[in-house]
Amino acid sequence: MYYMLGKPAQDHAKIFCQVYTVATYIMREFELVAATWLVMIRVRSLYAGHRWAKWLLYTTFVITHLLTAGFGAQSVAEVYSNISYLSFLRVCLSGIPTYTKLIYFFQIPFELLLLAMQLVHYWRLSRMIAPARPTPLLTALYTDGVVYFIATITVRLWAGLVVVFLDPTLWYMTVVIDLSTTSTFISRIFLHLNQVSAKSHCGNMSSVPQFDTTASVQNKPPSIPVDSWMEMETYR
């Protein structure tokens, strides 16, 4: 779109390049914080009542995002100070920031932690209620979490490796692909959860006993399916 607007004045073009760089960084940080927060509260709901899980998730969330934001701000400051506009090609030019090759990898430990906690919870719950199976809502939490992890980690590893081994000038392309992929999959997660929850609510019209998936299983009447009485207990 910028190319179609025609050739702007040199000083205005440089300002546009600076504003676009800062806006892209801010947009990516907000989207990254929102996406990982939404995924984190899903995992936290599986460990309702376990304070160690709460503090582990919150601490890791804060540390990884502070690292990403700090090194990202440093990189943007370097780009902002030496950015220029090449009128012949109508593109923004800048030197390669020092920490560009690290920014994509700071979130990977947190994503691995979220995946590990979901898999551990699924394994423990499956053993606890065997041969029965978890409810559709819990199954959706597990499967969507794994799908989200595979999609986001694949994109971020690809983006990081492109910047590290190929051409750092492809950073803008990798940011756009990362933003679009993450926002798409995080939206899919919650739309799917809402759909599964609505179906479960319509199918369970009677009052049924409950049990805490983080503690022990209560004795279930044989005539009531497991899917009708398994729910998560609200954290207090």
Tens-digit pLDDT profile for residues 147-172:
888 888 888 888 888 877 777 667 77
Question: Averaging pLDDT over each range in 60-64, 81-85, 199-203, which range is the top one?
Answer: 60-64
Average pLDDT of the residues in 45-64: 90
Give the closest residue to 132 by CA, choosing from 64, 71, 75, 211: 211
Give the pLDDT confidence score for residue 61 in this predicted structure. Answer: 94
Q: 84 forms bridges with which residues in the sheet?
A: 93
Q: 85 forms bridges with which residues in the sheet?
A: 92
pLDDT band at 116 (very low <50, low <70, confident <90, very high): very high
pLDDT band at 60 (very low <50, low <70, confident <90, very high): very high
Give the closest residue to 192 by CA, choosing from 135, 154, 136: 136
Give the pLDDT confidence score for residue 113 in this predicted structure. Answer: 93
Higher pLDDT, 205 or 31: 31
Give the pLDDT confidence score for residue 63 in this predicted structure. Answer: 94
Q: Tell me: pLDDT of 57 over 90.
A: yes
Q: CA dist 199 to 123, 144, 175, 181, 217, Å?
A: 25, 17, 36, 27, 24
Give the pLDDT confidence score for residue 201 in this predicted structure. Answer: 64
Average pLDDT of the residues in 52-57: 92
- C-alpha of 166 from chain center: 25
C-alpha span between 221 and 147 (Å, rounded): 34
